[in-house]
Amino acid sequence: MTIEQRLSQTPVIPLIQASDATIAVQTAKALLAGGLSVIEVVMRTPEALDCLSAIAADVPDAIVGAGTVLSAVQAQRAIGAGSKFLVSPGLHANVVETSQEAGVPIYPGVATPSEVQAAWNMGLRTLKFFPASLVGGAPMLKALGSVFRDVKFIPTGGVSAANLADFLALDAVLACGGSWLTPADAVNSGRFNEVTALAAEAAAIAQT
């Protein structure tokens, strides 16, 4: 099953930011228990690649990818660590080319029609919309979707349980991403049951 097929069933991508591989694996297992199986590990800590690799090895039922990928070198390292997809905050040709050459899906961030058009001409049809809540939210996505009819978006940034349904109601939206599903205080305190509960809530919203 492809990533996009998996997302068509439960269109939510939780973000994990971790500095400890054991905690990252426990978080991923908690998310999976709540019904979310496509997981993005953000490259914001020195240990992020180790965390990604550990999840890829120890949580085989999850599809794990790398987020906040800023350069071609980072992209190569993430792919080498087992990343099944890449996500970037912006659109950069070298990162896109590295991903495409490796045959790994990439979802670069866009915020304007010009960026969407540039990505479209790179052959990309699934894009991250970031930061979603600050660049027009659902109304902006509705407008973009009316023009770029063969493009799907993954809004991230300011998405929460409160507005998840609004975004997912749009035909142009493939899935939503967010860190609200993995609150740092719960993760760092080992309260993984709270992560599972948040994942289950999001999955229920998405499926209705």
Tell me whether residue 135 is exposed, middle or buried, using C-beta atoms within 10 angstroms of its C-beta: 0 to 12, 13 to 18, 19 or more: middle
The answer to whether 40 is a known catalytic residue is: yes
- 86-88 and 152-155 beta bridge pairing: unpaired
Residue from 29, 40, 84, 152 carrying the catalytic annotation: 40
Among the listed residues 92, 93, 88, 91, the one whose alpha carbon sits nearest the alpha carbon of residue 112:
91
How many C-beta atoms lie closer than 10 Å to residue 41's C-beta?
32
DSSP-derived secondary structure letter, 48: H
Note the Cα 110 to chain centre separation in Å.
14
- Cα–Cα distance list, 68 to 64, 90, 128 (Å): 14, 9, 11
Q: Are 182 and 161 in contact (CB under 8 A)?
A: no
How many C-beta atoms lie closer than 10 Å to residue 61's C-beta?
8
Residue from 29, 84, 128, 152 carrying the catalytic annotation: 128
Provide the annotated active-site residues: 40, 128
